[in-house]
Amino acid sequence: MNTIPIVYILSDSIGETGEIVVKAAISQFGSGRVDIRRIPFLASEEQVDEVLSEVEAVGGIVVYTLVGPELKSYLENKLHELNLAHVDIMGPLLNAFSKVTSLQPKNEPGIIRKVDKDYFNKVAAIEFAVKFDDGKDPRGLLRADLVLIGISRTSKTPLCMYLAHKGIKMANVPLVPDVTPPDELYQIPTNKIVGLTIRPPLLLEIRKERLKTMGLSPAADYASPERIFYEIDYALSIMRKIGCPIIDVTNKAMEETAAKLLDYYRKGAM
């Protein structure tokens, strides 16, 4: 490429779509060198005139993603009048969708970035899962959509975060023989609690690896077979006392366990 092109990206939103397309196009010429000048939030004919005056003076390509019909029409008339090189990214695609579906576009700038109720629910659920992870605050158990209980290394936290991204308020409580479970655990409806267990041989290997990554001896009591059997028996006794369903996570992908938890949640929400 002998010269570095100047590309003006005009948008009535932030112009991100146009920039992505321009960068994809320029990569086909064996060079990523391009002078991209993004002009976002165009809202008036005066702004259009100002930008096109600069383009006319220095040369360049105009790429636009305007969806507002009036301003778009004005821009296109000026581009043809000034004989400037230009590309409409959104127009042809919107026209194709309209032709196939017989629907009309909303022509609303930045609509893809507008947050909705589902987005806020997801953010709130993630914050909830972080705040009430690992039994930090038992009061959160009464507000959770679903509570996971189990011994260490049964994937309680990863599962909580996975489901939180689906907008479900999750909390979890580790079951440790030396620590009495919080009273709140027995105040929650049984259909809002799920116990997680795992087979001892696999848990033994997981805990040994955990100790190794922490620079600790794999011979620690945390990874001893006797301790593991003791913890599992204790946890199962609590789960049976509560009367909650129990999932064995041994050799299960997180998505598989999460699917079962979603099923329990949906049944409990009915």
Residues contributing to the annotated binding site for ADP: 150-157
Residues making up the annotated binding site are 150-157
Spatial separation of the C-alpha atoms in residues 160 and 179, rounded to whole Å: 22
Residue 253 tokens, joined: 């992908």
Instruction: Please check whether residue 16 is in contact with residue 89, taking contact to mean a CB–CB distance below 8 angstroms.
Output: no
Rounded to the nearest 10°, the torsion over CA 15, 21, 23, 28 is -170
Looking at the DSSP bridge assignments, the partners of residue 248 are 197
Spatial separation of the C-alpha atoms in residues 33 and 30, rounded to whole Å: 9
Spatial separation of the C-alpha atoms in residues 141 and 197, rounded to whole Å: 20
Instruction: Please check whether residue 61 is in contact with residue 8, taking contact to mean a CB–CB distance below 8 angstroms.
Output: yes
Half-sphere exposure of residue 52, counting CA atoms within 13 Å on the CB side?
A: 21
Instruction: Please check whether residue 67 is in contact with residue 12, taking contact to mean a CB–CB distance below 8 angstroms.
Output: yes
Give the residue among 8, 108, 112, 115 at the shortest CA–CA distance from 66: 108
Q: Which 3 state secondary structure label does DSSP give 218?
A: coil
- Work out the burial of residue 269: count CB atoms within 10 Å of its CB; fewer than 13 is exposed, 13-18 middle, 19 or more buried: exposed
Give the residue among 202, 195, 206 at the shortest CA–CA distance from 257: 195
